[in-house]
C-alpha cells in the first residue's frame, strides 16, 4: 500500500472499455477482473503478474458527457476528510462529495488550484 503522499492507484476513464481492454491486453499484457460498482456499471481491474495494477472506469453514460477520456491518478492520504478541508482552504475545489468504496477506501475527487483533477484516497487497511 502506498504511504501518505504517494501515488496509490491509476485508472483509465474510457468510453469504449472493451477497446481499451483490448489495447492494453495486446500492448502491455494485462488481463482483467470485473468488479460491480454502485451505479450498476462494471469496473475492470487490470491484472499483471497476478496483481492488480490499474483500473478501467466506464464513462459512456450521460452523467460523464463532459468528462474527457484520461488517466486518473489517486494519491494516498492519511485522512481524506481532514486533508480535503485543507485542500479547499488552499484553493482546491471538491468535484463531488467524498465517498466510500467498500473494501477499497474513502475517496475525494479534487480540482487543485491550477485546475488539474486528482483523486485522494484513504485506503482500507
- Could you read off the pLDDT of 4-25 as tens digits, one per residue? 999 999 999 999 999 999 999 9
- pLDDT average, residue stretch 89-107: 95
Q: What domains appear along the chain, each with residue ranges and CATH number?
A: 11-68 (3.10.180.10), 77-125 (3.10.180.10)
- Render the burial of 100-117: b for 16+ CB within 10 Å, e for the rest: eeeebbbbbbbeeeeeeb
**Whole-model pTM?**
0.87
Query: How far is it, in rounded angstroms, from Cα 23 to Cα 39?
Result: 25
> Is residue 37 very low, low, confident or very high in pLDDT (cuts 50, 70, 90)?
confident
pLDDT tier for residue 1 given thresholds of 50, 70 and 90:
low
- Beta carbons within 8 Å of 51's beta carbon, 6+ residues apart: none
| pLDDT for position 122 | 97
Amino acid at each position: 500500500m502506498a504511504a501518505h503522499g504517494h501515488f496509490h492507484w491509476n485508472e483509465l476513464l474510457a468510453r469504449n472499455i472493451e477497446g481499451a481492454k483490448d489495447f492494453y491486453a495486446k500492448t502491455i499484457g494485462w488481463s482483467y477482473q470485473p468488479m460491480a460498482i454502485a451505479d450498476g456499471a462494471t469496473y475492470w481491474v487490470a491484472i499483471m503478474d497476478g496483481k492488480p495494477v490499474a483500473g478501467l472506469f466506464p464513462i459512456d453514460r450521460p452523467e460523464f458527457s463532459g468528462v474527457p477520456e484520461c488517466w486518473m491518478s489517486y494519491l494516498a492520504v492519511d485522512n481524506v476528510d481532514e486533508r480535503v478541508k485543507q485542500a479547499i482552504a488552499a484553493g482546491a475545489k471538491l468535484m463531488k462529495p467524498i465517498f466510500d468504496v467498500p473494501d477499497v477506501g474513502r475517496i475525494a475527487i479534487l480540482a487543485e488550484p491550477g485546475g488539474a483533477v486528482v483523486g485522494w484516497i484513504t485506503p482500507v487497511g
